[in-house]
Amino acid sequence: MDDPLLIAGEKFGSRLIMGTGGTPSLDVLDRALAASGTELTTVAMRRVDPAATGSVLGLLADRGIKVLPNTAGCYTAAEAVRLATMAREALDTNWVKLEVIADERTLLPDPIELLAAAEQLIADGFTVLPYTNDDPVLARRLEQAGCAAVMPLGAPIGSGLGIRNPHNIELIVESAGVPVILDAGIGTASDAAIAMELGCAAVLLATSVTRARNPELMAEAMRLGVAAGRYAFLAGRVPRRRFALASSPPVG
């Protein structure tokens, strides 16, 4: 089925956006990314390590996967804006997954700093994809600020707790005019399917694949889960009933 994901006018054949953190080696990551079918993948920006061997950038380039730098590790708008500017310079992209977290224990977004950073980056010409709380009001404010997508969390980063507040995700989807991307909290393929059934345009995940016992196989499971959930959303589920509805003819 031809059903591309559209973000800021750019088309992606896959609705699974991958993170790259957590695999034991670049080789394992490479195979997982291939199995996931992803066309958009996040990287972090860190100090150059002269001893590092291999590069995640080379791997993504070889697979034709678009790079989405994040601002992981930033606690203030000023830090995030500076890191995004460095990423734009290093990677020649004005796309950024904007992450401004409040504390290390929860890694939850700081909504005040997040919105401020989004406004500054958009004014500077960035295409901003913010990692946000599952708060419909904040999602609306981020969209009004000009974000190209909103990326509410299902649960805290790396927690694998799934979608803790599906009602809020539905509320965000209902009112959003930009793609809603479920970001963080996915534990297994059914979580990804549920996100898509709720109407999300895509799912962004890393830990559930990269730290799975078999990352490559879990990546394949996520690809199928996202596709299954998307198809189910488009097909339209039957209403829930309190009593039975016979599926065989009652007479004859």
Partner 1 sequence: MRVIINGKPHEAAGNLSLAQAVGVLTTAQSGVAAAVNGAVVRRAAWDTTALADGDEVEVLTAVQGG
Q: Which residues of this protein are in contact with partner 1, per CB under 8 A?
A: 19-23, 26, 29, 42-50, 52, 55-57, 67-70, 72, 82-83, 85-92, 97, 99, 206
Beta bridge partners of 184: none
Minimal distance, residue 210 CB to partner 1, in Å? 8
Side chain identity, residue 41:
T
Minimal distance, residue 212 CB to partner 1, in Å? 16
Contact 194, 187 (CB under 8 A): no
| CB nearer to partner 1: pick between 168 and 207 | 207
What is the widest separation between alpha-carbon atoms in the chain? 79
DSSP single-letter state for residue 37: T
Minimal distance, residue 91 CB to partner 1, in Å? 6
| CB nearer to partner 1: pick between 82 and 140 | 82
Minimal distance, residue 128 CB to partner 1, in Å? 15
Q: Which residue carries 């203030």 as its tokens?
A: 76
| CB nearer to partner 1: pick between 41 and 168 | 41
Locate 166 and state its tokens: 């599906």
| CB nearer to partner 1: pick between 171 and 203 | 203
Among 226, 184, 235, which Cα is nearest to 205's?
Answer: 184
Q: Where in the sequence numbering do the catalytic residues fall?
A: 97
Contact 231, 209 (CB under 8 A): no
